[in-house]
Structure 1
């Protein structure tokens, strides 16, 4: 994982945006390390525990999808770029990779699931895009040349 580039600012000051950029190898270990780094960066800026957990869940699902699908079967692990920007009411992320495109060059729909079903009745996996769609908004996917770009916004809960 490369060191972040920072635009210094304080979360509580809307006129001073805070941004960061992280580049990581497309592997499960690198995703875990990047999530820890991003969580620390955002915690240092005063994000609440609830917001940190939401950001971590959305990014974990997104980055693991890149590792498991975009780079699956390719001869070598590629890189994933994560750029984050803070605004007073939300966080915006741009995630890039040079892996395979999304099927049909479009975002998966994310199937609805019934949280009231017993755990043993629910299938393993398949909830990633549902969670991403539930916890974020303004999802946009594009493919330019060999690069995938996913942009999304995570509204911040008060507190």
Structure 2
């Protein structure tokens, strides 16, 4: 069994809550399913869960290099120079990243509101980019965008390999 879940902001990639963050048990009441790849509590979007160990490994293990696609709202305006850097790979404190697919995109028209909303500064514009990576380091997308001078304000994973969020409202799940 494979489940796709549109994880809202503030929910951990685990069933038990911790500190100020809620757990998956508030949204998914299915025994025997486990998360296949993590998504930080302050990130939103596609989280896959399965009861199949080998499938979990294929999805989560970096050796399989399954693409992960993100919509990223950043502080500042996305430039071609920043996109070029991301496309070549950037150096983080734990070493260089693999090259990423990076493009500037329009703000998504059908995006659900985030609770709480992102912080907005009157004197600082925001813009969006789509980033596709094949790694899964801790907070990698946030660190990559910061490395090119574009701090992340909102991060939404829209796809993992062939699985995506299409037609799945926030806080809901569906068996694939």
TM over 0.5: no
Please report the TM-score for the alignment, with normalisation by the length of structure 2.
0.31
Please report the TM-score for the alignment, with normalisation by the length of structure 1.
0.33
Using CA pairs under 8 Å that are at least 6 residues apart, name the structure with larger relative contact order, 1 or 2.
2
